[in-house]
Structure 1
Amino acid sequence: MDTETLLTRFVGELSVLDPVAVWAHGSLAAGDYQEGRSDLDLIAVLPGPVTPAVAWRVALAHARLRALPLAAGLHCTYLTPGTADDATRRHLTWAHEQLFRRPVTPVARRELHTFGRVLQGRPPGALLPPVSDRELADFVVRDQRDYWRPAVDRAPLWTRHVWVDVGMTTFARATVTACEGRLISKREALDLLPGLGAPVEVVEDIRGRRYGDPAPPTEEWTARRARLTRDYLGPAIDALTASVSYD
């Protein structure tokens, strides 16, 4: 399998940095991974400070993988034991074929504790503090309020597959997490969305791209899908954030 070949090569490339641990979360760990369609969401814990020299070695390790199938979808955030506790801290990250900084969110941390896959080294429970249900719920509701709700008003975004797919599934997942304190997969989110009032034709369009082999959409459907998605998500997010107490 191309995925396992890539993961093996990646762990090997990181050996020069002597990582304390390398973990997978997201769909790869949760059992809903679709090769060639899902990203590879990884975390590496390095032993010491992430200096400019270390960042250069990280970039070099990823550059050496570029010829491998699926490498463009391999994303990894780099922690150290001394920086792992703070869920708001931004860490060196390789994603979308570039280096930048972003946090390891409470959702990613809960995924790691619940079903994280250890690729090398120590398990997540030995290095990451647990995430409380309240912390998790507060995060997903704030994310819907502060990131996704303003994005709904930016109409051009929603002509792109990724915004429709991630926006809809993230809303369903956030609803379950905020109300029930548990994480669900994208497959489960798609099953739940019609019951949450989502337009069925949009849900089936997402399902077809993730699990099937659909024909390219027409311009007419792309425009209609964008309108249906925005008309649904705006009020749905407003209702969720109004009904759930958060800090």
Structure 2
Amino acid sequence: MPTEALLARFLDDLTPFRPLAVWAHGSLGGGDYQEGRSDLDLIAVLPGPLIPAAVRRLIVLHQRLRAEPLAGKLHCSYLTPRTATDPARSHMTWAHDEVRRRPVTPVTRRELHEFGRVLHGVPPATYLPPVPDRELRDFVVADQRDTWRPTLDMERLWKQDIWVDLGLLTFARATVTAREGRLISKRQALTELHALGAPGEVVEDVTRRRYGEQGPGPSPDRRARLTRAYLGPAIDALVAGYR
């Protein structure tokens, strides 16, 4: 499989950095991975420190992976034992073919504890402290309020598949987490969206595209209009009802 070949190549290329651990989270860890559609979300713990020379070598590593199928979907954040415990700290991350700095969010940390896939080395609990339920709930509600709600004013974004898919799925997952303190998969979120009153034709369109099924769907303009009209009041209600 291209995914396993890419992971094997990545782990082999990472060997000179003496990784202490490499973990998969997201769909690959949670069992909802769709090859060619899902991202490969990884965390690597290196002995550190990540001095500029080490960062440059990591960039070269990822650039050399570009010839591998699916390499563009491989995203990896790099932690060290000293930096891993701070949930607010941003870490060097290779994503979307460039270097960024991102925190390892409470959702990612909880995923790693609950169903992280150990690709190399020690398990996540070795370096990552557990995530309290309240911290997890506070994070997902704040993310809906501060990140997703403002984007609804940007109509052009919602004509793109990725915004419709992630906007709806992230909302459904956040609702369950805020309500029950647990994580659900994207597949489970699609079922939850029906119960939450999301527009059925849009949910069916997301399902078809995510799982490779054929069938007509709404136009980008109609899909954007329905999604924004639903998510605005739904996010407002989630935030207002959260205690």
TM > 0.5: yes
**Displacement of 1:48 after TM fit?**
1.3
Where does 1:70-219 land on structure 2 (aligned, <5 Å)? 70-214=70-214
* Secondary structure of the corresponding residue to residue 183 of structure 1: coil
Distance 2:43 2:211 in 1: 26
Match of residue 225 from structure 1: 223
Shift of 1:213: 3.8
Any idea what the Cα deviations from partners look like across 1:216-240, whole Å, max 9, x if unmatched? 86xx711000000000000000000
Match of 2:42? Answer: 42
Q: CA deviation at 1:87?
A: 1.1
Q: Note closer, same or farther for the CA distance 1:59–1:117 as it changes in structure 2 (3 Å cut).
A: same
- TM-score normalised by length of structure 2: 0.98
5 Å matches for 1:44-59?
A: 44-59=44-59
Alignment-derived partner of residue 238 in structure 1: 236
What 5-or-longer segments of structure 1 have no aligned partner? none
Letter in 2 for 1:93: T
Give the 3-state SS of the residue equivalent to 2:92 in structure 1: strand
**Aligned residue number for residue 60 of structure 2:** 60
Moved more, 198-207 or 47-56: 47-56
Task: Supply the distance in 2 between the matched residues of 1:237 and 1:204 (Cα, whole angstroms).
Answer: 21
Give, in whole Å, the separation in 1 of the partners of 2:33 and 2:179.
25
Give the structure 2 partner of residue 30 of structure 1: 30
Supply the distance in 1 between the matched residues of 2:235 and 2:115 (Cα, whole angstroms). 27
Please give the TM-score of this superposition, normalised by the length of structure 1. Answer: 0.96
Structure 2: distance between partners of 1:240 and 1:143: 11
5+ residue gaps, structure 2 = none
Aligned residues: 243
Query: How much has 1:60 moved relative to structure 2?
Result: 1.0
Provide the identity percentage. Answer: 66
* 3-state SS, counterpart of residue 223 of structure 1: helix
What letter is aligned with 1:117? R
Alignment deviations for residues 104-157 of structure 1 (CA, whole Å, 9 cap, x no partner):
000000000000000001100111000000000000000000000001111110
Deviation at 1:215, TM superposition (A): 6.3
User: Is the 2:208–2:215 contact (alpha carbons within 8 Å) kept by the matching residues of 1?
Assistant: no
Question: Given residue 232 of structure 1, which amino acid in structure 2 is its aligned partner?
Answer: Y
The root-mean-square deviation of aligned C-alpha atoms, in Å, is: 1.1
Give the SS at the match of 1:130. coil
Provide runs of 4+ in structure 1 moved above 6 Å.
Answer: none
- Give the superposition deviation at 1:214: 3.6
Equivalent residue letter for 1:135: E
The alpha carbon displacement at 1:86 in A equals: 1.2
Distance 2:201 2:24 in 1: 32
> In 2, Cα distance between the equivalents of 1:51 and 1:209?
42
Find the aligned partners of 1:192 and 1:49 in 2 and give their Cα distance: 43
| Secondary structure, aligned partner of 1:82 | coil
Residue type of the alignment partner of 1:115: F
Cα contact 2:22–2:43 (8 A) shared by 1: yes
